[in-house]
A = this chain, B = another copy of it.
Amino acid sequence: MPTTNRQILLASRPHGEPTLDNFQLVETQLPSPAPGQLLLRSLYLSLDPYMRGRMSEEKSYASPVEVGGVMGGQAIAVVVESNHPDHRVGEIVLAPIGWQEYALSDGDGLQEIDPALGPVSYALGVLGMPGLTAYTGLLNIGQPKPGETLVVAAASGAVGSVVGQIAKLKGCRVIGIAGGAEKCRYVKEELGFDDCLDHRAPNLADRLRTACPDGIDIYFENVGGEVFTAVFPLLNNFARIPVCGLIAHYNATEAPAGPDRLPQLMHQVLVKRLTFRGYIVSDFASQYPQFLEEVGGWLREGKVKYKEDVTEGLENAPRELIGVLRGENFGKKIVRVGRS
């Protein structure tokens, strides 16, 4: 056993896009578990867009990370010492321990991972929070019906890829939006979406109109920004818009210039009878067993495909989170902190 731990702290709150200065790597003494506690060694960190919100002071659905505290987030970890009756050494768990190599736990919030379900890192993605976000938002709010058109952005990512593939299984026409030709090729050819548009190329709105000749019945909103602007005029009567993320806005520092589009939005909500509904994965936590069975089955059968983008080394987590917020990852971003 080593005697030191490495941790990444939130050194300061970002203004706009986070920078490396907002983080600090520190070496601390490796703690020992007291009675009732256990010591975890981290294997993988999850990097997710929602983390930008935790870095700000604004109270959101989750509390902000404190300045000087360990940067928050979920990890896959192995139990290396245990004074806890419910956990044994060698057990693999999903643990809210944030960005560090080792962590003490009193067992709160730990969830054992069954390695038989697939690579344990999948519990950070397709079989974890992002997958459950995709599954519950699409089925409960999106309510896909055969023949309907669904649009989802960040289509090669952990949430978007699962949304689109499930919508295909439900009989929808599915149009993805992603950044760059390589991601778009993957979304069409590997994931089987009907089309995928590159939002970095010009005239997104025109291309989306062409790709959606019958309008849009479900827009799974996880990005906002110019994708929403392109989608908005194409929404059909009774369209559903599950809102689970707005990554295009996360680094915004002020409200954009006018005109004020809020009245126009409300007008369209009325005349087209649109439903906008925000949700957070925990709102549907009770559907986790059903999700695990169904999506786990599709994954084993090859009906749902999943791609990870793995970076080695805890010290790279800050750079990689900045990259996630820029859309630089290709697939679900995780950081390998240690080997099992």
Q: Which residues of A contact B (CB under 8 A)?
A: 53, 60-61, 221, 224, 228, 237, 243-246, 249, 252, 254-280, 283
Contacts and interface: CB of A to CB of B under 8 A. Distances in A.
B270 A243 contact: yes
B246 A255 contact: no
Contact of A262 (B61, B252, B261): B261
22 contacts: A53-B271, A61-B237, A221-B266, A224-B266, A243-B266, A244-B270, A246-B263, A246-B270, A254-B259, A255-B258, A257-B260, A265-B265, A269-B277, A269-B278, A270-B278, A271-B278, A273-B277, A273-B278, A273-B279, A273-B283, A274-B276, A276-B277
B283 A267 contact: no
A224 B258 CA distance: 18
A323 to B, nearest CB: 22
B263 A260 contact: no
Contacts of A258: 255-260
Contact of A272 (B244, B257, B273, B278): B278
Contacts of A265: 262, 265
A144 to B, nearest CB: 18
A249 B53 CA distance: 34
A143 to B, nearest CB: 13
A237 B25 CA distance: 36
A61 B266 CA distance: 14
Given A244-B270, A256-B258, 6 more contacts: A228-B266, A249-B267, A255-B260, A261-B261, A266-B276, A269-B277
Contacts of A263: 224, 246, 249, 252, 255-256
Contacts of A255: 258-261, 263-264
A257 B256 CA distance: 11
B259 A243 contact: no
A226 to B, nearest CB: 11
Contacts of A278: 268-275
A12 to B, nearest CB: 23
Contacts of A254: 259
A264 B58 CA distance: 13
A244 to B, nearest CB: 7
A123 B50 CA distance: 51
